[in-house]
Structure 1
Amino acid sequence: MDAMTVVLTRRSVQTLIELAPNDAEFAYLLGGAAAAPDHGSLRPWRWVPLRGTDRETLGARLATDVPPEQQEQIVRKVLRAPLMAALVFASTPGHKIPEWKQLAAASFMAYGLMLLLHARGYGRIWRTGRLCESRAVRELLGLAPTERLLGSLDVGTPDGAKPPVRRSTGDIADRVSVFAPTTAMHQPA
């Protein structure tokens, strides 16, 4: 698949089954994604891959944050894919590279990983919500006070062999501005 096809056919996939990349393949793809723009080469992120009973442990911890009648549903949600990879934003506070640039680097890397997974035939979906706000999950994943959980990437094989549909790029003319300095900028004070 050429790069434009990868970008234009990437979609979130709700139903994911085995197979997912093993640890070695995940690390290989992450190595490629880590080549994303990263001012200062800080790599202000880390991944926590969860498989098997690790997901159940996380689900049980996440369920402690909700009323009893919702707990079973929360536990089931973390079992929706064979691999749940949590993305931790691990910025370097006080660094000359501002936090917003560090967050952009983590975001670029995550999107690159999504594209690489898609190119390999894996389905994936980015999840946020309750997971990112849970103190119990922060504790379970060992987040430092300066770290934030940005979300998780559920990864597996798409259930159902629908070929990816290529998106239309649409008209983006209204999203590009022509540079036209005003004469007021050049007026002496």
Structure 2
Amino acid sequence: MTAVDMPHVNVKELLDEYAQGKRDFRGMELREANLFEADLRRINLQGSQLQRVYFPYAKLSYADFSHADLYQAQLGDALLHHVDFSHARLVGANLCRASLRYANLRGADLRGANLQRANLYRADLTNANLSDADLSRANLERAHLTGAILAGSNFFQARLVDFTGTYPDARTRYPDGYFQGKLS
């Protein structure tokens, strides 16, 4: 389905249909929508066009954003436990202070994303592209980063990062006290 063929839904329709029990909104176009503090747990927006959507403080646990385009989306302070962002485009997204516990970010494109102070406990970032992403002060306890591209990313004061099997470069900024392997 191309962007031209995608059904467009406005915020009011989405919230009304969600309130009536609908959860499947796959392939929707919802660009630049304002969903500040929205409670949309378990929503399925797989493959949707969500560029510049405004989701701060939203409750989105167990949502499916796999293969969605969230270019420059605002997800700061959002509750994103167990969310599926696999193969999603999150280039330039703001996930500052977001809670991404157990999130699936396998193969996600997070180039230039802001993940400052994000909680990525047990998040799966396998094969994710984190080039130029800011993960300063993020919690990466038990996060999986195998195969992740870390070129130019910032891990200053990030907690419990295991760089085994990752692809950093000379611009990658490591947490204080980095030594080949896990940090404590």
TM-score class, shorter-chain normalisation, is under 0.3
Higher relative contact order (CA 8 A, sep 6+): 1
**Higher strand content, 1 or 2:** 1
Bigger Cα Rg: 1
TM-score (norm: length of structure 1): 0.23
**Higher helix content, 1 or 2:** 1
TM-score (norm: length of structure 2): 0.23
